[in-house]
Each structure stands twice: as C-alpha cells, then as structure tokens.
C-alpha cells in the first residue's frame, strides 16, 4: 500500500496547492489528492486554497508535480449526484474532471451523493436518476480510461444495500469504490464489516479517525465528515482503521491510502502520517 493525503488537511491553514506539494516532498509522501474548482475563486486565485482549478493547464501542472516527485492518486469532483442538480451540474463537472485528470496522469476521479435524501424525490427516483448520471459519466471515463470512484459520504452511499446497487449501475470495470473509514463510522456502520463486503471493488481509500466528542454527538445522525479534527490513531475509530488496513492487505490491495484529517499547518497530519506508517509496518 502507498500513502497519500488530501489537501483538505490544509484548508484551515490557507495553504496553496504548491505549498502542499512541498510538504509532500519534505515528508516523502508520494501521492496527493485535491478538490477541483470548476471556475474562478478569488481565495484560490490569491493562493489561499489548497485545491486546483480546471482552468489550470494539466500538463504544466504535471510538470510542476514531477519536480516535487509527487503524483495524483485521485482528484475530488464530489458534487452530490443524488438531487435535482446532479444531472445538470454534477454530471458536466465530473465529465470535465475526467478529461482533465487524464491529462495529469491521475488514475481516479471521486464522486458521491448528497448528505440527505432529496426532498423533491423518493429514494427510488433518486437512485434511478443517479443510475442515469453514472452511465453518462462512464462513457467518458471509458474513453479516457479513468476510474470513477463512488465514496460513502451521503444518504445512499453509506447504506450498504444502496451502495451495492450503485456499484452495479453499469458493468464497466471503471466504476469502483473509494472506501472511507470515517464516513462509514459516523453514519453508524461498522467500517470493517462494510469494507469486507466491498473490498473487491476498492481502488482508493480515505483514512479518517473520529474524535470521542464528535462520535458521541453525531454518530448515526450524520453520513459524512468534511474534515476530521482528530489525528489518525488518536480517536475512537483507530481500531477500525487498523483492522481495515489488515483487510486490505489480506485482499492484496496495492493502491493508495489517503490521509484525511485536519493538518493544523503540519503537526496533526504529521502525527497521522507517523501512526499510519507504523501501523502498516506492523500488520500481520
């Protein structure tokens, strides 16, 4: 398994993407993951946001990343596809992200559903709409040979039966799973059991711990965490993360496990990085 991280870790520090590249190089983390901005954002333009805009030339960005010896493991285009805006805003965004990712050498694009069931549709209507969305998206993904991952993050994706149906929306081998240890836990699921059910579909992993206070306040009431303000190994989900890593190893998973936590400008994510390295080294 390879280690990467999501630049969300440095949202609160207002770092630029290039500063995140420098951190990755200094800490010998070979893979990076970031969000994609479809348009112009003043805070990004000023260098205070650690994500990348789709107007940035992908080949020039790839050259810059090569200088730091860092590659993309995945880019995040997770506009919720489960509501009315999914087909009109989410689908074009994901399609554009796929073509852009292919030019950077990035293998995966992350997608998801909304945190709540859409008020305007029944669950069945929402699932049928998402099926149409993913079938459209996968035609582009197949053309560019880019994996489209579904991440457990919302009402449907954190429910194992809905997730199984979603992973079967299309028989394409380019439709896969980005498993998230924190979102499944905060949704009230057992991350280890859920991973065991879907491990054959996993192509990317988010490692996210959960603080005791957050778990006590919201577990079973939310479906996802934007960023965990808890270093990996220091929360109530640490045992599940360790067990999930063992499941992945036993299954022969050789992809990226991406750290998702608040970085505090470095110290918190560096503790997470040390814990994950030690945990991977100690797996049976």
What is residue 248's predicted lDDT score, i.e. its pLDDT? 98
The two structure tokens encoding residue 199: 């491990």
For CA atoms 247, 26, 208, 204, give the dihedral sign.
Answer: negative
- How far is the C-alpha of 259 from the C-alpha of 276, rounded, in Å? 9
Low-confidence ranges of the chain (pLDDT < 70): none
What is residue 247's predicted lDDT score, i.e. its pLDDT? 98
What is residue 284's predicted lDDT score, i.e. its pLDDT? 80
Nearest to 254 by CA among 7, 29, 73: 73
The two structure tokens encoding residue 28: 């010998």
Q: What are the sequence ranges of the domains in the chain?
A: 2-281
- How far is the C-alpha of 248 from the C-alpha of 85, rounded, in Å? 35
What is residue 227's predicted lDDT score, i.e. its pLDDT? 82
Given this structure, which CATH class describes domain 2-281? alpha beta
Give the rounded distance of the alpha carbon of 197 from its chain centre.
19
What is residue 182's predicted lDDT score, i.e. its pLDDT? 97
């Amino acid at each position: 398994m390879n280690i990467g991280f999501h630049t969300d870790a440095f949202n609160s520090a207002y770092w630029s993407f290039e500063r995140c590249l420098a951190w990755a190089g200094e800490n010998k983390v070979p893979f990076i993951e970031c969000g994609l901005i479809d348009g112009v954002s003043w805070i990004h333009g000023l260098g205070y946001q650690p994500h990348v805009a789709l107007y940035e030339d992908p080949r020039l960005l790839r050259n810059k990343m090569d200088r730091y010896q860092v590659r993309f493991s995945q880019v995040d285009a997770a506009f919720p596809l489960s509501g009315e805006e999914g087909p009109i805003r989410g689908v074009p965004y994901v399609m554009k992200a796929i073509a852009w990712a292919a030019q950077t050498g990035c293998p995966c694009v992350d997608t998801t559903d909304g945190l709540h069931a859409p008020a305007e549709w029944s669950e069945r209507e929402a699932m049928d709409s998402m099926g149409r969305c993913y079938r459209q998206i996968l035609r582009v993904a197949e053309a560019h040979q880019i994996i489209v991952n579904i991440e457990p993050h919302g009402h449907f994706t954190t429910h194992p039966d809905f997730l199984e149906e979603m992973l079967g929306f299309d028989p394409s081998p380019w439709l896969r799973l980005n498993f998230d240890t924190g979102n499944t836990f905060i949704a009230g699921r057992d991350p280890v059991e859920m991973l065991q059910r879907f491990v054959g579909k996993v192509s990317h992993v988010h490692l996210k711990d959960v603080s005791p206070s957050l778990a006590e306040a919201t577990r079973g009431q939310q479906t996802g965490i934007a960023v965990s303000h808890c270093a990996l190994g220091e929360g109530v989900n640490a045992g599940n993360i360790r067990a999930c890593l063992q499941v992945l190893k036993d299954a022969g998973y050789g992809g990226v496990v991406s750290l998702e936590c608040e970085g505090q400008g470095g110290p918190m994510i560096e503790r997470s990085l040390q814990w994950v390295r030690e945990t991977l080294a100690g797996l049976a």
